[in-house]
Amino acid sequence: MTGARRKICDVAVIGAGMAGMAAALFAAERGLSCIQVGNGGGILYASGLLDFLGVHPIAERRLWRSPYQALPALAREEPLHPLARVDAPSIRAAFASFVAALDAAGLAYAHLGEENRRVLTSIGTVKTTYGVPRTMIAGAEALLARSPCLLVDFRGLREFSASQIVATLGDRWPGLRHRRIEFPGYEAVPELYAAHLARALETADTRARTIALVKPLLGDARAVGFPAVLGLKRSGEVHAAFEAGLGVPVFEIPTMPTSVPGLRLLGALEAAVSARGVRRRHQATVRALAFDGDGGTATLDLNGVPGGERVSARAVVMATGRFMGRGLTADRGQVRESILGMPVHQPASREAWHQHEFFDPSGHAVNRAGLEIDDAWRPLNAAGKPAWARLFAVGSILAYQDWMRSKCGSGLAIATAWAAIGQVVRELNGSAAS
């Protein structure tokens, strides 16, 4: 790669999904210079809800009221699960730091306590999660109290149906009602998109007209739920205007992916890491990664930067995700790690990847494939030793976890990023002192 620009940093983060964002954020907060490579990963598809640990054991589908109480059981029964390697005080600190950064970027979350919360989904099921955006929290409270509640949707918005939610939940929540209204200004538009409505509601006039349509429908409702379209970049302001205008708590319910809350989360994380000086290469990918001796530097060659770019880093955090993020790829025979070809923990043969039944409660073994690590979050080579002294791995690329079934996607990303960045700091400080 002759002629490519050369950049130097303390830590290069490969990946900009939830784990890569958390790693870049924590690295910058610890005073490390950081270059981050990769696009938004799964964040765009996320609901804005930050899962921590909802289900354990997976096969029993046991739901936990407190993720912190679930942790000791996880550590006892699945000691290799990455979340079991992080202590509770570190997880508290990681979440606090993460949501404070989101808050400062304009995306506020309700107070994080010791317990999970239960929230409505767009199909009327109930989801166990941990971090709930402030615009959604009144829904968790209304669901808990089963108080009289009005759900409103908009004609033409296909990704959300209030009547379906009421049909699914109504027998367990008798005071739940729904009404459909026209979205002001879009009466002649056959099909509506959530992101367009969210942007439209950032104008005061559209807000006022929407509130005026809903107010006469309130009846005995003590809370009103909407699809998650209450603003894109200024959701706090739009949500507050709806509560003031309607005089009752208002909440959003995430729509199907890609959803407005996913867009908000991605926007807020991009703003948060940029504000902390992280140099983002969001159109780029790492084409090659090489190491210069054990205590030396890593060299990353990037694609997708005009003219090419070469990054020299004292440490590297790999947050490249699984199959969707492309951190892992699978051919007919086996699962591979895509940048360095590091060994991947996986079932012995392809026949063992999946159960016969797709909905088998114990999940599929291939969904626990990933990198094995040592106690310092360093991926292991074929000899079972750290592949390189300053290569760390975080998030869903790690082995021994099925984040989708455990409902631990964001918690896994945030907690492992926190712990690994702690190791990066120790490693780099140690080398500076020696």
Closest separation in Å from C-beta 395 to ligand FAD? 3
Q: Which of 11, 43, 9 is nearest to 395 (CA)?
A: 43
Task: Give the residue with the Cβ less far from ligand FAD, 39 or 116.
Answer: 39
Other beta carbons within 10 angstroms of residue 298's beta carbon come to 19
What is the C-alpha to C-alpha distance for residues 55 and 406, in angstroms, rounded to an integer?
Answer: 5
139 interacts with ligand FAD by CB under 6 A: no
| Of the candidate residues 13, 17, 369, 370, the single one contacting ligand FAD (CB under 6 A) | 17
Structure tokens at 139: 């829904």
Task: Give the residue with the Cβ less far from ligand FAD, 233 or 407.
Answer: 407
Which stretches does DSSP call E strand in 16-78? 34-37
Closest separation in Å from C-beta 220 to ligand FAD? 31
Question: Assign residue 31 a region: left if phi > 0, alpha if psi is -120 to 50, beta otherwise?
Answer: left
Task: Give the residue with the Cβ less far from ligand FAD, 280 or 314.
Answer: 280
Distances (CA, A) of 422 to 29, 30, 392, 415: 11, 9, 11, 11
Closest separation in Å from C-beta 127 to ligand FAD? 7
One character per residue 218-257, x = contact with ligand FAD (rule: CB under 6 A): ---------------------------------------x
370 interacts with ligand FAD by CB under 6 A: no
Which stretches does DSSP call E strand in 176-305? 176-181, 223-227, 250-253, 279-281, 285-291, 298-303
286 interacts with ligand FAD by CB under 6 A: yes
Report yes or no: 124 and 165 within 8 Å, Cβ to Cβ: yes
Closest separation in Å from C-beta 49 to ligand FAD? 4
Closest separation in Å from C-beta 265 to ligand FAD? 8
| Of the candidate residues 319, 342, 344, 424, the single one contacting ligand FAD (CB under 6 A) | 319
Report the run of H or E that residue 431 belongs to, with start and end.
helix 409-433
42 interacts with ligand FAD by CB under 6 A: yes
Q: Which of 321, 308, 288 is nearest to 23 (CA)?
A: 321
Touching ligand FAD, residues 143-172 (CB under 6 A): none
The secondary structure of residue 319, as a DSSP letter, is: -
Report the run of H or E that residue 3 belongs to, with start and end.
none
Residues whose CB is less than 8 angstroms from the CB of residue 284 and which lie 6 or more positions away in sequence, other chains included: 37, 38, 302, 303, 304, 305, 309
What is the C-alpha to C-alpha distance for residues 311 and 427, in angstroms, rounded to an integer?
Answer: 19
Closest separation in Å from C-beta 175 to ligand FAD? 27
Task: Give the residue with the Cβ less far from ligand FAD, 148 or 395.
Answer: 395
What is the C-alpha to C-alpha distance for residues 398 and 342, in angstroms, rounded to an integer?
Answer: 12
How many residues bind ligand FAD (CB under 6 A)? The answer is 37
Touching ligand FAD, residues 328-347 (CB under 6 A): 339
| Of the candidate residues 135, 210, 367, 396, the single one contacting ligand FAD (CB under 6 A) | 396
The secondary structure of residue 328, as a DSSP letter, is: E
| Of the candidate residues 9, 317, 369, 413, the single one contacting ligand FAD (CB under 6 A) | 413
Closest separation in Å from C-beta 22 to ligand FAD? 8
Closest separation in Å from C-beta 55 to ligand FAD? 13
Q: Which of 253, 228, 227 is nearest to 125 (CA)?
A: 253
Stretch that binds ligand FAD, among 154-162, 167-175, 324-332, 380-388 (CB under 6 A): 324-332
Structure tokens at 430: 């140690």
| Of the candidate residues 37, 94, 278, 380, the single one contacting ligand FAD (CB under 6 A) | 37
What is the C-alpha to C-alpha distance for residues 359 and 361, in angstroms, rounded to an integer?
Answer: 6
Stretch that binds ligand FAD, among 81-89, 107-115, 241-249, 402-410 (CB under 6 A): 402-410
261 interacts with ligand FAD by CB under 6 A: no
Task: Give the residue with the Cβ less far from ligand FAD, 45 or 193.
Answer: 45
| Of the candidate residues 9, 32, 35, 49, the single one contacting ligand FAD (CB under 6 A) | 49
Distances (CA, A) of 312 to 13, 283, 290, 297, 430: 12, 19, 10, 6, 19
Other beta carbons within 10 angstroms of residue 209's beta carbon come to 14
290 interacts with ligand FAD by CB under 6 A: no
Closest separation in Å from C-beta 197 to ligand FAD? 21
410 interacts with ligand FAD by CB under 6 A: yes
47 interacts with ligand FAD by CB under 6 A: yes
What is the C-alpha to C-alpha distance for residues 261 and 248, in angstroms, rounded to an integer?
Answer: 22
**For the chain, percent helix, then strand, then coil, each to nearest 5?**
35, 20, 40
Which residues would be at the binding site for ligand FAD (CB under 6 A)?
A: 14-20, 37-39, 41-43, 45-47, 49-51, 257, 285-286, 319-321, 324-327, 339, 395-396, 403, 409-410, 412-413
